[in-house]
Amino acid sequence: MNMTSGITMPHLNDNRGDAHTRELIAFRMGEQEFCVDIMAVREIRGWTAATPLPHAPSYVIGVINLRGAVLPIVDLAARLGFASTAPTARSVIIVVRAEQQLFGLLVDGVSDILTVTDDALQPTPNIASELARQFVRGVMAIDTRMISLIATDNVLPQLQAAA
């Protein structure tokens, strides 16, 4: 899949009447899989080098120009407490909107679009730290894969304060 030109997510109204399903974009970071709600995704684009910002948190790589708008880019692995992602030609930026803020998530690559029922999402285990539960809405088993649903509204601190 060539991601360099970007994929726009149209968000068509789908009136199938089934309020108990949701669509998710699954992606990889290292050997783990995560996902975000497709309704939060505005586009998926290839890696673009970001301009660093002085005194930004360590998980903010910098900013890029997205059609005239300044877009902060978050190294999602670093934000979740994993080793930082070293961007490659296969890396992608998932542009999401949370609490009226647009920002990009640097990930290793998109792996799937999933349609799941609400009961497939299990609560984050109690053995996880409070910090982990803050970023992970829940976990689901899809075939042999364990996929964590990211709470995009908690990725940036100013969004947490507004929530």
pLDDT, tens digit (0-9, with 9 covering 90-100), for 6-61 = 444 444 444 445 448 899 999 999 889 999 999 999 999 999 999 999 999 999 99
Asked if the model's pLDDT at residue 150 lies above 90, the reply is yes
Enclosing H/E stretch for 158: helix 157-162
Q: Which residues contact 127 (CB under 8 A, 6 or more apart)?
A: none
pLDDT of residue 25: 97
pLDDT of residue 7: 44
Where do the domains of the chain lie, and which CATH numbers do they carry?
A: 22-162 (2.40.50.180)
Residue appearing with tokens 């068509």: 12
According to DSSP, the β-strands at 101-107 and 109-117 are: unpaired
More confident residue, 24 or 4: 24
pLDDT of residue 129: 62
Report in angstroms the alpha-carbon separations of 10 from 41, 79, 89, 157.
9, 28, 25, 28
Q: Residue 4 half-sphere exposure, CB side, CA atoms within 13 Å?
A: 3
For 91-136, the pLDDT digits (tens) are: 999 999 998 899 999 999 999 999 998 888 888 777 656 666 688 8
For 134-145, the pLDDT digits (tens) are: 888 889 998 899
Rounded-to-integer distance, Cα 96 and Cα 94, Å: 6
